[in-house]
Amino acid sequence: MRVAVLGAGYAGLTVACRLERTLPDDVELVVVDESSDHVVQHELHRLVRYPELSDVISVPLDDILTSARIEQATVTDIDTEAGVATLEDDGETETLEYDYAAVCLGAETEFYGLTDVEQYATPLKRIEHAREIRADALAASGGDAVVGGAGLSGIQTAGELAELATEEELDLDVTIVEMADQVAPGFDATFAGAIRRELEVRDVTVETGVAIESADESVVHLEDGRSLSAEVFVWTGGIRGPASLGGDRLATAGDLRVSDSTFVVGDAANVTDEADRVVPASAQTAIREGGVAAENILKLVGETGTESGTVTIPVTGQDGEDSQSEAAEPDESAETSLTQYSYSSPGWVVSVGNGAVAKVGPVVFSGEPAKATKAGIGAGHLGSVGAISKASQLVAEELGWPTTDSLGITEYLDNRGVLGNDPGRPSELGEPFVRFLQGVSDVLGEDRTIDVTRVTQEGDPDYPGSAMNRLQRFLFDTAGPTETTDGESVEITIEDESEDRSDDDGDAEADGTDDPRADQ
């Protein structure tokens, strides 16, 4: 019997790691991915400023998976009914037959038929995309950068471009354009408003309520007739399914099954869970769906049905040994009950340059707590796949901590593998904090939001004009603006709002506080 995992992103790696530990020894596990590395995709935007992090956020699959057969190839077609995948590598085509498979190929960037936008814009789905965006920005000193789409991925990219312009003295003006009436569409207005403030205080111009209509080599045209100069043009405006599925995100119910043999997981799927909720595309949902898919595949593998539709029953002879077997028809009423995925999210966090905004339970906060949450998500995911030294490096880079480890702690942890290779459980160390904020939600009710960003930003030394920023300037004469945007007072607000999150512009890069996504 053969089980295939097609794709080794968040969802695929979760499925593969769990099946590798639990499948019977006589079942072959094959993992197919076009890359030899697993990439922490929701940290791709950081490479715009820190290209050296590409090694930190990439982990060789050979270092994670121990017994699975790894095939480096592109999946070009999948017959979900027949159980056959077509693979291509270096121009050579082969077919891979499977008894059960999890299709975890992620999503591609959707351009909605805007062919000129597709021609001139750079998406952010791969390491080489981040390198291209950085190169374009460095070459465009004194020019303009436009980011199309203000989902979480677009927000993070715009923030990185603005910080890069400041650090490299590029005099690059950054604009983010969103057709919805707010940034982070689909999220509640309090969270979106806090993100917008973070963007604007870092000199990102925000254009909402207007769509991009077309583009030329260095100009972006808006539907309201305006044109924006764009020496740098980044597109994060939406997602579509992988080419091997015809560009469609296949619709699934909570069991994630699209045929008797095939499950579709993560951004490649358009999932409606058992409570009839449409599940947003994000890293955290991909990882949780991966756990469900692995469990369901294991249940099906555990059945003793044969291809002929019969069940083989061992017959014990008088000497106590299995001497023969006989066939009996299976009991159709005993059909395996598959596990259903039920969507839930403890929160979301998005980085904006050197800042960050998070929403955990009903609490929206920014500053150092949000940045620590963001860093912990990426580090938690790396640690969960055994790359603990890389996790420590990522935290150091994110938070500006020392990168030396004279005591050899990370090497010791690497050798021990204390967190285990399971990306489905990436951040258990952060659970007490999450549970506390969810407890606050239970007290206030689901539709109440607490905004404490006015307080947390004052303690953020990277927030221009904050109390800590002014103190830092006073003590160390650091560069940066000193004026405040909202006066000297701070406030906490509580608002009644119902959350309604739709698909983000990139799903797998939107970060959930218990996972590494979404954003995009």
Segment 183-218, tens digit of pLDDT:
999 899 999 999 999 999 999 999 999 999 999 999
Both 317 and 370 in one domain: the answer is no
Supply the DSSP string of 54-72, one letter for each residue: GTTTEEEHHHH-SSSEEEE
Give CA separation, 82 vs 29, 88, 100, 262, 305, in Å. 18, 19, 10, 9, 17
Query: Of the candidates 306, 334, 362, which is a domain's last residue?
Result: 334
Answer yes or no: are the C-beta atoms of 173 and 205 closer than 8 Å. Answer: yes
Residue 472 is predicted with a pLDDT of 67
Query: Of the candidates 218, 237, 256, which is a domain's last residue?
Result: 237
Segment 342-398, tens digit of pLDDT:
998 778 899 999 999 999 878 899 988 888 777 767 666 666 665 545 655 655 555
Give CA separation, 201 vs 210, 270, 328, 465, in Å. 21, 36, 72, 9
pLDDT category of residue 517 using cuts at 50, 70 and 90 = very low
User: At residue 154, what is the residue type?
Assistant: G
Q: Indicate the burial class of 304 (C-beta count within 10 angstroms; 0-12, 13-18, 19 or more).
A: exposed
Segment 471-495, tens digit of pLDDT:
667 666 654 444 444 444 445 455 5
Task: Report the mean per-residue pLDDT for the chain.
Answer: 79
pTM of the model: 0.78
Angle between helix axes 388-399 and 367-384 (nearest 10 degrees) is 160
Residue with tokens 């305006």: 226
Both 372 and 319 in one domain: the answer is no
pLDDT at 43 over 80: yes
Both 214 and 252 in one domain: the answer is no
What the block records as the tokens of 244 is: 């091997």
Both 503 and 424 in one domain: the answer is yes
pLDDT category of residue 341 using cuts at 50, 70 and 90 = very high
Residue 293 is predicted with a pLDDT of 97
Supply the DSSP string of 84-151, one letter for each residue: EEEEEETTEEEEEE-SEEEE----EE--TT-HHHHHH-B--SSHHHHHHHHHHHHHTTTSEEEEE--S
Both 373 and 497 in one domain: the answer is yes
Both 178 and 66 in one domain: the answer is no
Give CA separation, 116 vs 103, 111, 189, 230, 233, in Å. 31, 9, 32, 13, 12
Asked, for residue 339, whether it belongs to a domain, the answer is no
pLDDT at 11 over 90: yes
Asked, for residue 86, whether it belongs to a domain, the answer is yes
pLDDT at 60 over 80: yes
Residue with tokens 């739709």: 502
Residues in the chain: 520
Asked, for residue 201, whether it belongs to a domain, the answer is yes
Both 326 and 389 in one domain: the answer is no
Query: Of the candidates 208, 237, 266, which is a domain's last residue?
Result: 237
509: number of Cβ within 10 Å? 33
Segment 490-509, tens digit of pLDDT:
454 555 544 444 444 443 33
149: number of Cβ within 10 Å? 33
Both 247 and 230 in one domain: the answer is no
Both 144 and 285 in one domain: the answer is no
Q: pLDDT: is 302 or 157 the higher one?
A: 157
Q: Is 252 helix (H, G, I), strand (E, B) or coil?
A: strand
Asked, for residue 520, whether it belongs to a domain, the answer is no
Mean pLDDT in residue range 43-72: 91
Map 222-242 to HEC letters: ECCCCEEECCEEEECCCEECC
Both 116 and 137 in one domain: the answer is yes
Map 162-199 to HEC letters: HHHHHHCCCCCEEEEEECCCCCCCCCCHHHHHHHHHHH
pLDDT at 262 over 60: yes
| Run of H or E including 357 | strand 355-360
| Run of H or E including 397 | helix 388-399
| CATH code for the domain of 210 | 3.50.50.60
Both 177 and 298 in one domain: the answer is no
Alpha-carbon span 26 to 451, nearest angstrom: 54
Asked, for residue 341, whether it belongs to a domain, the answer is no
Phi, psi of 479 (to 5 degrees): -80, 160
Answer yes or no: are the C-beta atoms of 467 and 368 closer than 8 Å. Answer: no
Residue 307 is predicted with a pLDDT of 42
Asked, for residue 459, whether it belongs to a domain, the answer is yes
Cα–chain center distance at 100: 25
Q: Judging by DSSP bridges, how do beta strands 219-222 and 37-39 pair with one another?
A: unpaired
Supply the DSSP string of 294-328, one letter for each residue: HHHHHHHHHS-B-TTS-EEEEEE-TTSSEEEEEEE
If we measure between CA atoms, which residue out of 26, 17, 35 comes closest to residue 295?
Answer: 17
Both 408 and 299 in one domain: the answer is no
pLDDT at 424 over 70: no
Residue with tokens 């945007």: 485
Give 315's strand partners.
324
Number of domains making up the chain? 3
Asked, for residue 232, whether it belongs to a domain, the answer is yes
The dihedral built from the CA positions of residue 299, 304, 305 and 311, taken in this order, carries a sign that is negative
Segment 118-174, tens digit of pLDDT:
999 999 999 999 999 999 999 998 999 999 999 999 999 999 999 999 999 999 999
Asked, for residue 226, whether it belongs to a domain, the answer is yes
Q: 498: domain range?
A: 347-512
Give CA separation, 456 vs 365, 431, 475, 490, 514, in Å. 6, 21, 21, 9, 21
Residue with tokens 């203000």: 150
